[in-house]
């Protein structure tokens, strides 16, 4: 089996594109600002961002192109563009939300129409189209079953190919939940079904390579095993990767699992942008759990402290060094294993506003950004985004 078979000819495996992810909600939490020139200045040859169904079609048949056009207006034709299409919608899906988690469309023909309209708008300028993100992370990033995801993937694949035959369809990311799961675990079974039943509905397989760089070859081997088990092998791309993250340190694990259990106690079924803004003002389980964690900060393991705001300067410097080293090592190991498209997580915070550190996602990923805002401008490179002297 070859990763350059005719079935995957839409994807050119030759040449290398190192890229970056803008974030999880471009234009969703505020006006869509410029980011492609900044990514280009960092050396990125590929940019990835998210677009939500409700963001583009807030009402049946009424399309709003503000965020999509803001992205297209920044392109100069040299970069490759990857859009992750999330089926989140206040009106068109089983779970009503404009943010997360996306859920199955009530009417597949309406979903296919949405996909065709977006792809036609971007035809020839956006190369990669992804069906949602990490769907095996059910309840958080997908509110449906593996069977329902495959059905939607098949509808998206047909719509993309109809609107732009040269476009490439990307399978929703295979993440840490799958790569760290034992055989027979629920996330693993989810992707086993997807790779079996959805084999003809995608061109490339997306793997998310978080954590220690030394694990990259093993994670890629797992992805290939999932495909080989059903008699095929398609090219692999790395749609997200970064390190360090708290879970890669054994002494941090127990504290993190306790904090997560408390943070997600009585979690709502969906997270809309309005609900998120409202909860920031209130005492949610997440805020209470994270506040308690910060109150215990002096007694926490140093390797957890370095992911928190206000940690000692020497730990900050250490985390920056680890971040830079792991970025280089992860990239090199992925390229050595045949991956030709990578997208680092992530470029910058979602908006030019103070970030509340009492969020689980900030603890996990907040320190990984390559850049930050200076006032309203995305203009400051963090150490990981600054060339070595």
Give 119-135 pLDDT, tens digit per residue. 999 999 999 999 999 99
Element (H, E) at 25: none
pLDDT for the residue numbered 359: 87
How far is residue 102's CA from residue 284's CA, in Å, rounded to a whole number? 22
What is residue 1's predicted lDDT score, i.e. its pLDDT? 55
- Mean pLDDT (the chain, rounded): 92
Is there a contact between 352 and 374 (Cβ–Cβ < 8 Å)? no
User: Could you tell me where the beta strands, DSSP code E, fall in the chain?
Assistant: 17-21, 46-52, 80-86, 128-131, 168-174, 204-210, 236-242, 341-345, 371-374, 377-381
What would the pLDDT profile of 366-380 be if each residue is shown by its tens digit?
999 999 999 999 999
d(CA 11, CA 166): 9
pLDDT of 7: 41
Low-confidence ranges of the chain (pLDDT < 50): 4-9
Sign, CA dihedral 81-87-90-92, equals positive
pLDDT score for 260: 79
Q: What letter would DSSP give residue 368?
A: G
pLDDT in tens, 241-282: 999 999 889 889 888 888 878 777 766 667 777 766 665 665
Which string of b and e fits 2-18 if b means at least 16 CB within 10 Å?
ebeeeebebbebeeebb
Q: State phi, psi for 57 to the nearest 5 degrees.
A: -125, 75
- pLDDT, residue 5, reads 44
Q: Residue 149: what pLDDT?
A: 98
pTM over 0.85: yes
CA distance 74 to 82: 14
Pairing of strands 377-381, 371-374: antiparallel
In this structure, CATH architecture of domain 6-258+319-385? Alpha-Beta Barrel (3.20)
């Amino acid at each position: 089996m070859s990763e350059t078979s005719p079935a995957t000819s839409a994807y050119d495996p030759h040449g290398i594109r190192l890229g970056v992810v803008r974030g999880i909600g471009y234009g969703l939490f505020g006006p869509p600002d410029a980011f492609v020139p900044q990514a280009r200045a960092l050396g990125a040859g590929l940019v990835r961002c998210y677009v939500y169904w409700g963001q583009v079609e807030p009402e049946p048949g009424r399309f709003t192109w503000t965020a999509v056009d803001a992205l297209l207006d920044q392109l100069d034709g040299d970069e490759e563009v990857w859009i992750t299409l999330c089926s989140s919608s206040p009106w068109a899906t089983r779970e009503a939300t404009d943010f997360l988690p996306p859920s199955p469309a009530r009417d597949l023909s309406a979903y296919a129409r949405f996909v065709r309209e977006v792809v036609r708008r971007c035809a020839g300028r956006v190369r990669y189209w992804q069906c949602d993100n990490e769907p095996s992370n059910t309840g958080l990033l997908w509110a449906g079953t593996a069977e329902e995801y495959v059905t939607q993937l098949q509808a998206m694949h047909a719509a993309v190919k109809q609107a732009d035959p040269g476009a490439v369809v990307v399978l929703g990311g295979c993440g840490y939940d799958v790569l760290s799961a034992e055989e027979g675990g629920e996330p693993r079974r989810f992707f086993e079904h997807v790779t079996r039943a959805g084999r003809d509905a995608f061109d490339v397989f997306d793997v998310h390579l978080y954590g220690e760089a030394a694990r990259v070859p093993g994670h890629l081997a797992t992805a290939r095993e999932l495909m080989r088990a059903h008699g095929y092998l398609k090219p692999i791309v790395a749609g997200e990767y970064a390190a360090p993250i708290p879970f890669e340190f054994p002494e941090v694990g127990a504290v993190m699992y306790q904090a997560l259990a408390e943070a997600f106690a009585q979690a709502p079924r969906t997270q809309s942008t309005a609900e998120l803004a409202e909860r920031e003002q209130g005492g949610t389980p997440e805020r209470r759990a994270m506040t308690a964690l910060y109150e215990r900060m002096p007694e926490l393991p140093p390797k957890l402290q370095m992911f928190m705001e206000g940690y000692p300067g020497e730990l900050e410097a250490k985390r920056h060094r680890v971040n830079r080293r792991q970025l280089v090592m992860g990239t090199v190991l992925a390229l050595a294993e045949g991956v030709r498209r990578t997208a680092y997580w992530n470029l910058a915070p979602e908006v030019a506003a103070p970030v509340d550190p009492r969020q689980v996602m900030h603890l996990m990923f907040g320190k990984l950004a390559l850049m930050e805002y200076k006032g309203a401008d995305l203009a400051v490179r963090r150490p990981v985004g600054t060339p070595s002297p």
